[in-house]
């Protein structure tokens, strides 16, 4: 049987593990594919550098030439260029592609899917969202007969690790980020993780699949975790919650006021009740709930980051693409027929937890309550506690709202910040997952 020629682009945290598994599982992979997988080269920036366990004769700095010698191109470099051009070259040359690159797919997915379709080859990307967890294939294939209403989950291992460390060990933010980098969870620039860009790319990919509609990364409302403080984590604990960075996509029906049907997609930190299964997702693990009309509620859970688990997902895609080379056929292409608009945050319904430092004098509570009422926001809970002694005494006021449109809630917070009696708005966090 002719071997299937595999080119590996990148030999970092994920790539080095892909190379190892290709070598160590050679016979099993050959049996599953129906032909041997031959690693024909590994494109790296510095081929002269020694890499333990990697045959130096495979290393090359000429990625373009390598791509032209392959039937399947595995891209685990990351970023946009040069990989975008290299993948186009792979398609032009008739090679199938496996990538773990969510940023590239969120920014340039449609053109890459179109190029794969035109060349009649595969584009697979299981590792791009939630690492090792089978999630892309269930959405693309298993749920192709269903109608997804909503997904809600934790899709970034680095930020989940950082928030978990802050919650359970009292670690500082910077220390926890450094540990996530050392463990291979973080992106080359961890800003992509902590500012929510990585999760937003993944949310865009999930929304595109779930709702059969193109959702670019910049249509996702994004807030990272750099503003989350130890005080927020402690406030969450007092409320029986934990802080998690969530990715949420919802299909929104047409509004009674004439607002169109569409989808909302957002990434932000939120309080999640400790009784909710997402609260128990620890360290670099990810979990995603998918709510579909026929299937009901599904939960996908597992390692969301790390070299070996991610390489496992990449290899699963390599087997699928290689099987098509050997036996014929092609995996599903892009499905964007629904063409729903991405709606603004005014169409999102959520709850807020607001912590204020206020003057401790008569009438303050009433004025705060009036600000919420002016925007039609109903209050579920208020707690007040005196801070300090004597004439300088202030009060900490914690307000938890009922569900309301996100913009009504954010406008309320803006008004509160301008009230004389409000000395500081110390924390604003959404409450999700109830
Ligand atoms: N580390 C993880 O847990 C996960 C990573 N991913 C994705 O996998 C991809 C790779 O991630 P990591 O392995 O963690 O990154 P990494 O930074 O460890 O590895 C990337 C490698 O590509 C090399 N490189 C850069 N430019 C190159 C070029 N022009 N030609 C050849 N090599 C080049 C770098 O020197 C580096 O060794 C990224 O898209 C990332 O988002 C996806 C899921 C999980
Ligand atoms: N940096 C990412 C890696 C996986 O996609 C994360 O932390 O989840
Ligand atoms: Na996955």
Q: Is the CB–ligand 2 distance for residue 156 below 6 Å?
A: yes
**What percent of the chain is predicted at pLDDT more than 90?**
94
Task: Name every protein residue with a CB atom under 6 angstroms from any ligand 1 atom.
Answer: 9-15, 43-45, 63, 76-78, 82, 100-101, 127, 131, 184-185, 187-188, 305-306, 310
Average pLDDT (273-300) is 97
How far from each other are the two terminal CA atoms of the chain, in whole angstroms?
55
Residue 116 scores a pLDDT above 90: yes
322 alpha carbon to ligand 2 midpoint, in Å? Answer: 26
In this predicted complex, what is the ipTM? Answer: 0.99
Q: Whose CA is nearest to atom 3 of ligand 2?
A: 305
Bridge pairing between strands 96-99 and 148-154: unpaired
The confidence score (pLDDT) of residue 257 equals 80
| pLDDT number for residue 396 | 95
Q: Is the confidence at residue 413, as pLDDT, over 80?
A: yes
352 CB-contact burial (10 Å; exposed 0-12 / middle 13-18 / buried 19+): buried
Which atom of ligand 2 is nearest to 130's Cα? 5
Residue 434 pLDDT greater than 80, yes or no: no
Average pLDDT, integer, range 88-107: 98
Residue 233's H or E segment, with its range, is helix 230-238
Q: Quick one: pLDDT at residue 231?
A: 87
Q: Is the CB of 131 under 6 A from ligand 2?
A: yes
Q: Which ligand is nearest to the CA of 317?
A: 3
Ligand 1 center from residue 16 Cα (angstroms): 10
30-69 pLDDT, tens digit per residue, is 999 999 999 999 999 999 999 999 999 999 999 999 999 9
**Are the beta carbons of 104 and 112 closer than 8 angstroms?**
yes
Is the pLDDT score of 288 beyond 90?
Answer: yes
In sequence order, what are the residues at sequence separation of 6 or more whose Cβ sits closer than 8 angstroms to the Cβ of residue 99?
A: 74, 75, 76, 83, 87, 105, 123, 124, 125, 127, 128
Task: Kindly tell me if the per-residue pLDDT of 418 is higher than 80.
Answer: yes
Confidence class for position 390, pLDDT limits 50, 70, 90: confident
Distance CA 228, CA 221 (A): 17
CA dihedral 91, 94, 99, 103 (to 10 degrees): 0
Please give the positions annotated as active site.
Answer: 202
Please give the pLDDT value at position 392. 84
76 CA to centre of ligand 1 in angstroms: 5
On the question of pLDDT at 1 being above 90, the answer is no
**pLDDT class for 27, splitting at 50, 70, 90?**
very high
Q: Ligand 1 centroid to 321 CA: how many Å?
A: 21
Say whether pLDDT at 168 is over 80.
yes
The closest-lying atom of ligand 2 relative to the alpha carbon of residue 102 is 5
Mean pLDDT score of the chain = 96
Q: Within a 10 A sphere around the Cβ of 384, how many other Cβ atoms?
A: 15
Check if the beta carbon of residue 269 is closer than 8 Å to that of residue 237.
no
In the predicted model, is pLDDT for residue 153 greater than 80? yes
Q: How far is the CA of 385 from the centre of ligand 3 (A)?
A: 45
Domains of the chain: 4-132+307-327 (3.40.50.720), 141-302 (3.30.360.10), 348-431 (3.30.70.260)
What ligand 2 atom has the least distance to the C-alpha of 180? 7
In whole angstroms, what is the distance from residue 14 CA to residue 131 CA?
Answer: 10
pLDDT of 253 higher than 90: yes
Q: Please work out whether the CB of residue 304 comes within 6 Å of at least one atom of ligand 2.
A: yes
Share above pLDDT 70 across residues of the chain, in percent, rounded to a whole number = 100
How large is the average pLDDT for residues 213-221?
97
- Mean pLDDT in residue range 137-154: 98
Q: Is 165 in the pocket of ligand 2 (CB under 6 A)?
A: no
Instruction: Determine the pLDDT at residue 389.
Output: 87
Residue 298's pLDDT band, with cuts at 50, 70 and 90, is very high
pLDDT average, residue stretch 302-318 = 97
């Amino acid at each position: 049987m002719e071997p299937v020629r595999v080119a590996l682009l990148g030999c970092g945290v994920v790539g080095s593990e892909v190379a190892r598994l290709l070598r160590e599982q050679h016979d099993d992979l050959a049996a599953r594919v129906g032909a041997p997988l031959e690693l024909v080269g590994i494109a790296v920036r510095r081929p002269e550098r020694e890499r333990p366990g990697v045959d130096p004769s495979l290393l090359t700095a000429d990625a373009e030439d390598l791509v032209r010698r392959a039937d399947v191109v595995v891209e685990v470099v990351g970023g946009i260029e040069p990989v975008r051009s290299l993948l186009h070259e792979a398609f032009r040359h008739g090679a199938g592609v496996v990538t773990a690159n969510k940023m590239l797919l969120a920014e340039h997915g449609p053109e890459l899917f179109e190029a794969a379709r035109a060349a009649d080859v595969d584009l697979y990307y299981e590792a791009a969202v939630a690492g090792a967890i089978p999630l892309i294939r269930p959405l693309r294939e298993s749920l192709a007969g269903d109608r997804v209403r909503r997904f809600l989950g934790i899709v970034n291992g680095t930020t989940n690790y950082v928030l978990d460390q802050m919650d359970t060990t009292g670690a500082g933010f910077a220390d926890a980020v450094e540990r996530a980098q050392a463990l291979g969870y973080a992106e080359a620039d961890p800003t992509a993780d902590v500012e929510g860009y990585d999760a937003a790319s993944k949310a865009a990919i999930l929304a595109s699949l779930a709702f059969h509609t193109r959702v670019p990364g910049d249509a996702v409302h994004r807030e990272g975790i750099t503003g989350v403080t130890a005080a927020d984590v402690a406030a969450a604990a007092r409320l029986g919650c934990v802080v998690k960075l969530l990715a949420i996509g919802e299909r929104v029906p047409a509004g009674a006021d004439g607002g169109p049907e569409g989808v909302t997609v957002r990434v932000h930190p939120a309080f999640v009740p400790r009784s909710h299964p997402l609260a128990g997702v620890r360290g670099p693990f990810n979990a995603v709930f998918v709510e579909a009309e026929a299937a009901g509620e599904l939960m996908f859970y597992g390692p969301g980051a790390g070299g070996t688990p991610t390489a496992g997902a990449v290899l699963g895609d390599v087997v699928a693409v290689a099987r098509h080379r050997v036996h014929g056929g092609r995996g599903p292409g892009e499905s964007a027929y629904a063409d729903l608009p991405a709606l603004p945050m005014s169409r999102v319904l959520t709850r807020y937890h607001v912590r204020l430092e206020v003057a401790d004098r008569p009438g303050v509570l009433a004025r705060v309550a009036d600000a919420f009422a002016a925007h039609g926001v109903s209050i579920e809970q208020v707690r007040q506690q005196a801070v300090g002694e004597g004439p300088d005494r202030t009060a900490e006021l914690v307000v938890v709202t009922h569900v309301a449109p996100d913009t009504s809630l954010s406008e309320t917070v803006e008004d509160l910040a301008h009230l004389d009696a409000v000395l500081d708005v110390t924390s604003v966090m959404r409450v999700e997952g109830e």
